[in-house]
Each structure stands twice: as structure tokens, then as C-alpha cells.
Amino acid sequence: MLKPRLFWAALHLLSRLPCPDPGTLTPEERGRSALFYPLVGALMGALLALAAWGLGALGLIERAPGLAAALVLSLWVWSSGALHLDGLADTVDAWVGGLGDRERTLRIMKDPTSGPMAIAALVLVLLLKFAAIETLLRSGWLPGLLLPPLLGRLLLLALLMGTPYVRPGGMAADQSAWLPRRAAWVVLMLGALGVTWLAGLAGLILLALAGVLFWWVRRALMARLGGFTGDGAGALIELGETLLIVAAAMLAL
């Protein structure tokens, strides 16, 4: 049975949006809370779309589209607490510095410092998101802002469903072990239907791109680590969001 506090737990973990304290959860409850991850993404995307609408109503998009895009991007980064950006940075550092070795890769992932490759990856991701947001703001296609955060968390749920977690006792250990797979399939299907309903053919294209990215990232994680880590999950979300918002901007042209 799904409890409201499981949603608060998902919101508390994946975002900085204000929410009630979910309290202490059992491992099974943490696993079930992962079913709400796509809903958290949808809320974050809706917040971006609402902000874009407000900036348009104020006339800022017409007068200063770059500033408007920067404000929406800042809201996006804040709403996630830069959690997934941190995972991307750690993963890039580990992938480059690990030199193909599993244990070396895992060890570098735990290092809190960031090297030049990690910084370059973060700059490029934020730059691509900024440019795509500006394009979407100019076009007025608000679903292009709503869908990437939602699809990013659908990718996370898919990763939890069918990929081994390699750090016993790590951040996502309970979610991976206790996630109800049958219910997760239902959530994935509902999410895909929602994307298609909101965006039609463009939504189908974004779903296809998300599927290809998921296959590629999961294949790389399995080949190097034999599974995934929390940092790898964060990297998947960031890469997914970036690919999909760039694709959404191109579709809006």
C-alpha cells in the first residue's frame, strides 16, 4: 500500500522543494518511495513551465530572453539541489581516471574533489541546457520544459528496476532491493502515455531518444562496474535531461 509520506520521501530525496518531513522509513518503504520519482520530475518540470509562463507574462522573455533563460536554469538547478550534477561530475572523473579498471573507478567516484574533466562536463551540460531553454522560451512551447525532468526520473526508475546496485548499504541500495517491479512497470507505462498525451509525435520522439540513451548508459555501467552507483544514476538523469531538452528545443524550431 502506498502512503502519502512515501511521496514526501521521494520529494525530499530528489529535490529541494519544500515538503513535510517523511520521518524514518523502513527499507521496504524506501524502495516503494521510488515509484514516486517520476512524479517528482513532473513537479519540477511543471515548476519550470510555470516560471517560464510568469516571465513571459512580465514581458521579460521578449525583452531579455537570455536573462529569462538563466533564471529558469537557476530554478532548475536549485530545485534539484545540484544532486545529479554532483553525480555527473563524480562519474566523469571516475570514468576518465579509472582507466577501465572497476575498483579504481569506484574509488575515484567517492573522492569529493572534481577534476578538469568533471568541470568541463558540468559547464557543457549547463551551457546546453541554457541555450535550449532560451530557444524554448522564444518558441513558447512549455511542454519542452516540463518533459525533460519527468523523463529523467523515468530513466532513474528504469535503472532501478533492472540494473544491479554495486555498493551495499549505499544511497540507492534499499530502492534497488525493495522496488516493487510490477508497480514500477505500471508507472513507466503511465509516464510514457502522459508524455505522448502532452506532446504527441514530439513526445514519441523524446521517448525514443530517452530509450536509446538509457540503453547506452546502462551498457557502459554494466561493462565497467557490473551495475550502477548513485553517482551513475545522477549522471543518467543529467545526460537524459540535457539530451531531451536540446531535442525539445530543436523540435520547437
Beta-carbon contacts of 233 under 8 Å, excluding residues fewer than 6 positions away, are 87, 156, 159, 160, 172
pLDDT at 203 over 60: yes
CA distance 253 to 248: 9
Q: Which residues pair with 228 in a beta bridge?
A: 165
Q: Are 78 and 126 in contact (CB under 8 A)?
A: no
Average of per-residue pLDDT across 172-194: 94
pLDDT at 115 over 70: yes
For the stretch 47-89, pLDDT in tens is: 999 999 999 999 999 999 999 999 999 999 999 999 999 999 9
Residue 210: pLDDT band (50, 70, 90) is very high
pLDDT at 24 over 70: yes
